[in-house]
């Protein structure tokens, strides 16, 4: 849990660089660099080589980021059985924990979302490009953030899938019609142009890995996504 956390609303535009695109040999410095460049949150992609075809990092790296930087930690769990590992990410310092709705994640989604909130963290729910919006509807009243994947999860540097935008629009419409207040996050292939497309559809949280950490001027890259 971050010290003195700012209360964001879905009216705020939030930029969350993904540490997956950073120099892993210098995680603490890279996080400090991102904060200095204007990042609001740090997006931390946890991959288990099972739910997705890649392995990234676990609670130990998240703890290292938490202990070396005072920044909101947006933890994206692309793992099976997130409920089993939940407490380790809470202990590591996560502020927001997002789990996937797909059956391959092999958990009771409602129970996991409740457990995340009971642990004092914000709860997020993610759906992959191939997953219909209807799959998340039963849970929209129990989340703080809806994550619409704009690429097939597992790797950074992929191209933005515009065909996922109707799910962002549906999420924004459902939020208004049901007087809810969850954030809408987009993740994958986000840069200045695609951020503008996603913002027009209703997104307010923008995960950006390669377009920020790999930019010649990270501050300019973050600013251009903020103004897109």
Catalytically active residues, by annotation: 45, 187
Exposure string of 185-217, with b = 16+ CB inside 10 Å and e = fewer, is bbbbbbbeebbebbbebbbbbbbbbbbbbebee
Give the contact letters, 108-127, x = binds to Zn ion (CB under 5 A), - = no.
--------------------
Identify residues 1-20 at the interface with Zn ion (CB under 5 A). Answer: none
Give the contact letters, 189-228, x = binds to ligand DX5 (CB under 6 A), - = no.
xx----------------xxxxx-----------------
Identify residues 34-63 at the interface with ligand DX5 (CB under 6 A). Answer: 43, 45
Of 102, 104, 214, the closest CA to residue 147 belongs to 102
Alpha helices in the chain, H assignment, sequence order: 27-36, 59-68, 82-92, 109-118, 165-177, 192-201, 210-213, 218-227
Q: What is the DSSP track for 160-181? A: P-GGGHHHHHHHHHHHHHTT--
> Which of Zn ion, ligand DX5, none lies near 156, with the C-beta cut-off 5 to 8 A by kind?
ligand DX5
> Which of ligand DX5, Zn ion, none lies near 208, with the C-beta cut-off 5 to 8 A by kind?
ligand DX5
Q: What is the DSSP track for 49-90? A: SSSSS-B---HHHHHHHHHH---EEEEEEESS-HHHHHHHHH
State yes or no: residue 107 binds Zn ion (CB under 5 A).
Answer: no
Minimum distance, C-beta of residue 177 to ligand DX5, in the bound complex (Å): 28
Minimum distance, C-beta of residue 149 to ligand DX5, in the bound complex (Å): 7
Measured between alpha carbons, how far is 142 from 180 in angstroms, rounded to an integer? 10
Of 28-36, 127-135, 152-160, 176-184, the window that binds ligand DX5 (rule: CB under 6 A) is 152-160
Phi first, then psi: give them for residue 165, nearest 5 degrees: -65, -35
State yes or no: residue 129 binds ligand DX5 (CB under 6 A).
Answer: no
Which residues make beta-bridge pairs with 74? 43, 96
Which residue number, 115 or 207, has a Cβ lying nearer to ligand DX5?
A: 207
Q: Are 58 and 46 in contact (CB under 8 A)?
A: yes
14, 15, 20, 225: residue in contact with ligand DX5 (rule CB under 6 A)? 20
63, 106, 158, 197: residue in contact with ligand DX5 (rule CB under 6 A)? 158
State yes or no: residue 82 binds ligand DX5 (CB under 6 A).
Answer: no
For residue 158, the 8-state DSSP code is P
> Which residues are at the interface with Zn ion (CB under 5 A)?
45, 76, 187
Kindly list the residues in this chain that would bind ligand DX5 in the complex (CB under 6 A): 18, 20-21, 43, 45, 76, 151, 153-154, 156-158, 187-190, 207-211
């Amino acid at each position: 849990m971050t010290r003195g956390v700012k209360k964001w609303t879905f009216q705020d535009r939030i930029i969350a660089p993904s540490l997956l695109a950073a120099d892993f040999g210098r995680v603490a410095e890279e996080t400090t660099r991102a904060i200095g460049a204007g990042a609001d949150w740090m997006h931390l992609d946890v991959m288990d080589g099972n739910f997705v075809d890649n392995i990234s990092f676990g609670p130990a790296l998240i703890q290292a980021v938490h202990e070396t930087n005072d920044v909101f930690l947006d933890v994206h769990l692309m793992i099976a059985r997130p409920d089993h590992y939940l407490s380790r990410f809470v202990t590591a310092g996560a502020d927001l924990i997002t789990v996937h709705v797909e059956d391959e994640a092999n958990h009771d989604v409602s129970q996991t979302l409740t457990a995340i909130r009971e642990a004092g963290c914000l709860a997020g729910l993610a759906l992959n490009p191939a997953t219909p919006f209807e799959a998340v509807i039963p849970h929209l009243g129990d989340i703080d953030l809806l994550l619409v994947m704009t690429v097939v999860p597992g790797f950074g540097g992929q191209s933005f899938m515009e065909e996922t935008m109707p799910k962002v629009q549906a999420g924004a419409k459902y939020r208004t019609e049901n007087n809810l207040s969850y954030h809408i996050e987009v993740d994958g292939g986000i840069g200045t142009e695609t951020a503008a497309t996603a913002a027009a559809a209703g997104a307010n949280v923008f995960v950006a890995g390669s377009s920020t950490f790999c930019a010649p001027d990270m501050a300019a890259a973050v600013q251009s996504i903020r103004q897109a």
